[in-house]
Structure 1
Amino acid sequence: MAESEREIKPKPRPIIRIGLFLISHSLLVSVVCCTAGILALLLLPVLAKNTYISENALMPGSASPMLSNNDASDGQRFLNRILNLDSKTTGTDIEIPEVIAEHIMELGGEVSYHKFQPVSNKFHPLHFFLGPDAGIIHENYSCSSYGINTVGIIRAPRGDGKEAIVMVTPYNSVRMTMGEALSLGVAHSVFSLLSRVTWLAKDIIWLAADSKHGEYAAVAAWLRDYNTLSFGDVKLHPEMCGASIEHEMTQVKGDVISNGFRRAGTMAAALVIKVADCSTEFEKDVLKIYAEASNGQMPNLDLINIVNYLAVHGQSLQVRVEKIWSLLDSWLLNSLGELIELLGNVAKSLNPQWKFGIPVADYVEGSATLASSLYNQALGVPTGPHGAFRDYQVDAITMEISPKFASSQRVLFLLLVGRLVEGVIRSVNNLLEKFHQSFFLYLLTSSSRFVSVGVYMIAFALLIAPLPLVAAALFSDASKSKLGKDVVPSEPALSDESVPTFTSWKWLYAAKAVLVVHLWSAIVTLLPYFLCQIPNSSPSFNLSMWILLSVISLFLTYWLFGSFSFPGTSQPQRKEWALLKSVTVAAAFIGLCLMSVINFATAEIGALLLVPMCLTIVPLRLDIRVNTMKALLRGACNVLLVFFGFPPTAFLLLKGALEGYDSIRFGDFWTWAETLWAWNSATYIYICMVHLPCWVLCIHTLLHHC
């Protein structure tokens, strides 16, 4: 009866059989998936699609521009007045906000001043997730340390005051450049037009941001007070500041200019207008678009699309997005581009409907732009003051125009850029709801081509797919040796139907080791807070101390917790490293998946470095003991992967490859990490609490005593 029951035992479900098959062939699956993942990443420029406007209500270019030469001439007169100001005679920078407020008032807008203090960018663990402007102000402040933003508001004649569009023009009130003055002139021209039109359905806010403490700081301070109940105006002590600023910021002409905080509606979109130095590299005016915000956040793609469409088709501007220029001369990319172009021609000859492959130049330039987009998103640091708006879920971009004109053509330049800004505002004004139709997760390969999340996530999924399979295979192999050498001789023999007690609890000690190393990584994450307290320390010294203290704390952690001791045996066990590697691979898989939710670009780059190291690592003694060419090559490959996987090494080698090894210094990694924690980038947390502990565990596996 028992034998018949065993014979009719049901087979596992198909999904279980597939899983067991993949686990049993984990080596082949790992090679295929990793190779396919890298190839998919290299093919992203080929798979990029042309941008298109998803929201029909935007209707860019449907109306003729209304900005006239008179508006541009008014902007030039305002520009000349700003340039003629001599702040050195008065010793204060209040004159520029005064002039801006006076002109806004003449145009019929509401004016208010916004005072703010500079914030400290020192690393503080308690404020890490509160944003870069966490409210940590300088203790020793004076009147000169205050920044003064000037805010002008036009109330929409067709609106109900519930929505608004923001124009931002950063300028340095201490030392204004020609480009900053031109951006103020552009905003004045547009503001002059919008104060007269009747089609406005959304309020218009012009923020002239005082950027003497940084462009982002000025915009972020205003946004923080705009979205909170506190007005943010810190009262100045008369004995410290005198009456100069207080006199300038008191109410003038009734309630037209107010020291109080004025608000409009909920922000639908924001445009940061910047003018760079004159362009000599290109034949016509160039518009550069910056869109990356904190932790890889991007504005809705429709906002970039309407700017690109109006700039190219409306004002004949050359639109560009940032790229890594050193990759344009890469031999590898050019060779790969030639191969892809050849395959595309062959496919087209077989079937004209097969549209695969792009020209070599397009592939190389698309790859350089894609790499820049991927890096800027992974860095997690905003590429301009527009990033402050994304922290409040407001779609915003920075438009930087590099003009190619003589000083006598300022009116034409103001007319050109002003009409572009007018067209963008008019399109956003047509929206009945917030941007939502197009993509929020994408990578740019040019100003008119993009890769959506549904495409570029395939490369990441292929890279991390082998991790759970390898973890299960390693655990299964370690569990199969229940009656082999790994079993303590004094243990009683186990039947086939019972679960081996030795291996059933032994993996907990491997999990304990992994947990302790990740707890140690939290200590490493907090060490810079104490190192920043050392006065006048160089980046090289800080990095050396960071590494030294991390190593010392690691050995202390091993000594306190006994992380890698496996009780129950008196001799080295051959499967200890397999269990440790199994839990390490599982931890890497979980960490990469969690990071992909926060910042997909960071997880993508991290998988390229972490996955090959976690998959191939084995004890070095095993390869030396076998003493074959294959084993020695595997051992050398593991040593190289561990060397390149160390975060400072990977960063310095990558920077040297892109910028030249003559320009790199040992302390550059500290400077880079300092940028990450100053902007509270989640990439810093990933490096310290996911990548670094997995690297340490791979080192332990490599040096295992089996």
Structure 2
Amino acid sequence: MAKTDRDTSKGKPRPIVRLGIFLISHSFFFSVVFSTAGVLALLLLPVLAKNTYISENSLMPGSVAPMLSDQEVAEGNRLIEDLNALKSKPLGSGIGSQRLVAQYMSNLGAEVSFHKFHRQPSQFHPLHFFSSPDSRRIEQNISCALHGVNTIGIIRAPRGDGKEAIVLVTPFNSVKVNKNEALSLGIAYSVFSLLTGVPWLAKDVIWLVADSQFGEYAAVAAWLRDYHTPVFSGVGTLDAEMCPEINNLRGMEENLFTERMTFDGFKRAGTMAAALVIKVGDRTQQYEDSLSIYAEASNGQMPNLDLINTVNYLAVHRQGLRVKVEKLWSLLNMRWLKTLGEMFELLGHYARNINPQLKFGIPAAEYIEGSATLASSLYYQALGIPTGPHGAFRDYQVDAITVEILPKVFTLGNKVRQNDFLLRSGRLIEGVVQSVNNLLEKFHQSFFLYLLTSPSKFVSVGVYMIAFALLVAPLPMVAASLYVNASNSDESMNSEKSSPSATAVDSASSPTTTDAAPLVTLSESTPLLTAADSGSLATVADSASLATAADSSRFATTADCITLSSWKWLYAAKKSFIVYLWGSVVSLLPYFICQIPSCTPTTSFIIWVLLSILGLVVMYGILASPFSDANDSKSQKEWAILKSVTLSAAFIGLCLMSIINFATAEIGGLLMVPMCLMAHPLKLDVKTRSLRTISRAVCNLVLGFIGFPPVTFIVLKGAFEGFSSINVGDFWSWVESLWAWNSATYLYIGVVHLPCWVLCIHILFHHC
């Protein structure tokens, strides 16, 4: 008895298997529940956000009184005045402003060098998608006007070993320095002059004055590439005879370093611990000085949260600056968002009445602000385009942010107000340098994956991944359910077809068997019936052979059923593979379209669409024609198997994209998951003509229309900016910016989202 119980327990499936079977058998119910819970969890993220905190104790922001005084501010003011004076001189040029900045650095005792770089053409190249182009590759017919010069000053730490460094970056246009850029240079120079004489400095300090005449990011990225890669003589350099300005710059280097040291090429310091980009915004605040923080880098990368927390703490609690992060301003006026915030506020009030220790719920106004900031954080991370020159540092795993200081309204001649602005801003930068200088290792204690809902609140990866997991969970469940149902339908169909043959075999064998019984009985009583006995044995042999034939027929039918199901799965997989291969080809087409001269964005977009449609018709018609099995009566459930494969591919694509860029996967899931789950042949819904099927058909048409990437872009842009300013070529310009910045979102659109949309449209217009 114990053995029987043991065998029975061994035959039971494991709990995880039973749970999977239960979820698959009730896939419709759980898909609705999980999808709704995923959207609700996403809307709850501003409520679940936590206050920021300093994880690394060695940072100790604000623990030391600032040392920046009016003397350093006066030095910064003198640099500002000299830069402004250059604009009034007719001979003032980019070389003149760079010579002036280099002279000021040299007067402080810093090591000064110049970095020459060339403007890189921003064009799509499929072989260099995830890597930046070589900064030292120069075109044969490059013009001398397409080069820039960065000025670099290095302070060697008196208590350091030269293995680590802190980078300060101030972008400025060397051709024409405006007032705000002069102020940012004055702030950085006042801090730089202080750091040359402090005894506590343990890390080298690099001040990069980036020549931003071709873009802030390009100048910083070019310097970083040369900083981390050896530069050999004669490779990627301009000829001084062709470019007189370069010759003048080299002469300036020789004169500048004759007294103190010999210039020996590109100068470097240690490994970069952190970088801070300092800018003075051109937008003025009416009542107070404020600070905007930009942290998003390429493909949704973010710096360590401790760096943002340090800047936020010093700005708010030490310098009295109001800190801001970007938000989607159009969401602030959404009525539905305001209603949702009031509901969460009311629920939080009831929860605190039940249990005062519950901290659920925030005020409606705070929820609206947090939602707008969260949406902005998701949007800029999903784009995969850096929001400032700090993004170039993240490509080398260096934590960096851009701080844009927005001054209160004041005129340039107001010396008192300008000195106060320089003093507060300089002390903020000094405090950040002090905190980073205290680090014994790189930033690692805090979060790298997070979403900001305010400068002092964030949502960690362990919270926002729950919303994504709930959103995509229905995809594998429904895919398994569709495949199981289609397989069971094929088995029942084949069993019904095989039953008439089995009945015929039984009816043919039964008379022979009944006739054989009397013959055998007679042979036992009379030895004369030998011939009859032989005939009966032959009849029994014939019946046995017929039974064996029936069994073989049943086995053949089962084998045919298994083979048919396998071929149907392979046929659906072949269709999906062809469509995804087409998506890869579509992603490469812009490289060839860009070679067409004088092609407007609208024309390029139309050519792209026409070539994509032609490629789909050719590939799909030859390799996976939807009409190749239209007369096959056994393929009535083929769309279910194709939908199962589509759901599986969408699930895999979204999960892989969540590893590269979570924000792209989250926004893509909001569009793809409803479209994939609702996909159903329109012909079947129209035949039924019930309220449920007609509603499903309408929803499928709407989701299919909105799910097309150009339509999605137009709808979102029209909702946020208005439909009056929309142009057909805007989508091409947007996509062009994605591939110019090597954003993985471009690959997601072409390789994951677009093929999934095509398969869903194929399911909608299936021939069933």
Fold shared, TM-score > 0.5 on shorter chain: yes
CA 1:497 to 1:142, structure 2 compared with 1: closer, same or farther past 3 Å? closer
| Separation of aligned partners in 1, 2:130 and 2:689 | 51
Does the Cα contact within 8 Å between 2:167 and 2:275 map onto a contact in 1?
Answer: yes
Paired with 1:528 and 1:660, the residues of 2 have a C-alpha distance of 28
Match of 2:14 in 1: 13
1:176 — aligned with what? 177
Matched, 1:415 2:419: no
Deviates more, 1:349-358 or 1:123-132: 123-132
**Partner residue of 1:698?**
760
Q: Is the 8 A contact 1:87 1:93 kept in 2?
A: no
Partner of 2:332: 328
**Residue 378 of structure 2 aligns with which residue?**
374
Equivalent residue number for residue 543 of structure 1: 605
Between stretches 214-223 and 227-236, larger displacement belongs to 227-236
Work out whether residues 117 and 135 of structure 2, in 8 Å CA contact, stay in contact via their aligned partners in 1: no
TM-score, normalising length: structure 1: 0.96
* Correspondence list, 1:523-602, <5 A: 523-564=585-626, 570-571=632-633, 573-602=635-664
- Asked whether the 8 Å contact 1:517–1:693 carries over to 2, the reply is yes
Matches of 1:487 and 1:67, distance apart in 2: 89
Do the aligned partners of residues 502 and 278 (structure 1) sit closer, same or farther apart at CA in structure 2, a change above 3 Å counting?
closer
**Alpha-carbon distance, 1:544 to partner:** 1.4
Are residues 1:508 and 2:570 paired? yes
Note the alpha carbon deviations across 1:94-129, whole angstroms, 9 max, x for none: 111111110111011000000000111111111111
Indicate the SS of the match to 2:303.
Answer: coil
Partner of 1:213: 214
Task: Indicate conservation of the 8 Å contact 1:105/1:256, yes or no.
Answer: no
Matches within 5 A, 1:362-511: 362-406=366-410, 407=412, 408=414, 409-485=417-493, 493=554, 500-511=562-573
Give the distance between the partners of 1:648 and 1:132, measured in 2 at CA: 28
Secondary structure, aligned partner of 1:593: helix
CA contact (8 A) 1:509 1:563 kept: no
| Map of 2:46 onto structure 1 | 45
Offset at 1:351?
1.7
Contact map agreement 2:94 2:176 (CA 8 A) in 1: no
2:280 is equivalent to residue 275 of structure 1: yes
SS at match of 1:274: strand
CA deviations over 1:368-401 (Å, ceiling 9, x no partner): 0000000000100000000000000000000001
Q: Which runs of 5+ in 2 are unaligned?
A: 502-552
For the residues of structure 2 that align with 1:637 and 1:478, how far apart are their CA atoms?
Answer: 24
- Pairwise CA distance, 1:140: 2.8
2:308 pairs with 1:304: yes
Structure 1 196/486 Cα, relative in aligned 2: closer, same or farther at 3 Å?
farther
Q: Contact between 1:444 and 1:451, CA under 8 Å: does it hold in 2?
A: yes
TM-score between the two structures when normalised by the length of structure 2: 0.88
Sort the Cα spacing of 1:557 and 1:307 in 2 relative to 1 into closer, same or farther, 3 A: same
* Partner of residue 101, structure 1: 102
Contact 2:135/2:225 (<8 A) preserved = no
Q: 1:396 to 1:483 in 2, by over 3 A?
A: closer
Structure 1 window deviating more from structure 2 (563-572 vs 535-544): it is 563-572
C-alpha distance in 2, partners of 1:685/1:94? Answer: 41
In structure 1, C-alpha distance between the alignment counterparts of 2:649 and 2:678, rounded to whole Å: 16
How far has the Cα of 1:563 moved from its partner? 4.9
Structure 1 residue runs without a partner (length 5+): none
Structure 2 residue 73 is the aligned partner of structure 1 residue 72: yes
User: Which one-letter code corresponds to 1:271 in the other structure?
Assistant: L
Change (3 A) 1:497 1:572: closer
Matched, 1:520 2:582: yes
Shift of 1:290: 0.1
Query: Structure 1 residues 345 and 624, CA, compared in 2 at 3 Å: closer, same or farther?
Result: same
Deviation at 1:40, TM superposition (A): 0.2
- The CA RMSD over aligned residues, in Å, is 2.2
Q: Identify, as 1 or 2, the structure richer in helix.
A: 2
Tell me the distance in 2 between the aligned counterparts of 1:554 and 1:72: 65
Aligned pairs for 1:111-122 (under 5 A) are: 111-122=112-123
User: Once the 2 structures are TM-superposed, how far is the Cα of residue 139 of structure 1 from its aligned partner?
Assistant: 4.4
Is the partner of 1:482 in helix, strand or coil? Answer: helix
Query: How many Å apart are 1:459 and its aligned residue?
Result: 0.4
Is the contact made by 1:486 and 1:573 (CA closer than 8 Å) also made in structure 2?
no
- Answer whether contact 1:278 1:404 (CA < 8 A) is retained: no
In terms of mean alpha carbon deviation, does 537-546 or 220-229 score higher? 537-546
**Cα 1:373–1:231 shift into 2, 3 Å:** farther
Provide closer, same or farther for how the CA distance between residues 546 and 306 of structure 1 changes in structure 2, counting only shifts above 3 A. same
Moved more, 491-500 or 180-189: 491-500
SS in 2 for 1:480: helix
Cα separation, partners in 2 of 1:339 and 1:433, compared to 1, 3 Å: same
Deviation string 1:499-522 (CA, Å, 9 cap, x unpaired) is 722112320110011001111111
Classify the secondary structure of the residue corresponding to 1:426: helix
- Once the two structures are aligned, what percentage of the paired residues are identical? 61
Whether the 8 Å CA contact 2:578–2:624 is kept in 1: the answer is no
* More displaced stretch, 236-245 vs 603-612: 236-245
- The equivalent of 1:343 in structure 2 is 347
d(CA) in 2 for partners of 1:481, 1:659? 50
Q: Which has the larger radius of gyration?
A: 2
Q: Partner letter of residue 96 of structure 2?
A: E
Q: Which residue of 2 aligns with 1:678?
A: 740
**Aligned twin of 1:665:** 727
Which position in structure 1 is the counterpart of 2:271? 266
Distance 2:628 2:472 in 1: 29
**Cα shift readout 1:8-45 (whole Å, capped 9, x = no counterpart):** 57121111111001000000110000000000000000
The answer to whether the 8 Å contact 1:120/1:137 transfers is no
* Aligned equivalent of 2:156: 155
539-548 vs 383-392, which deviates more?
Answer: 539-548
- CA offsets 1:245-276 (integer angstroms, 9 cap, x no match): 44234463336473610000000000000001
Secondary structure of the residue aligned to 1:458 is helix
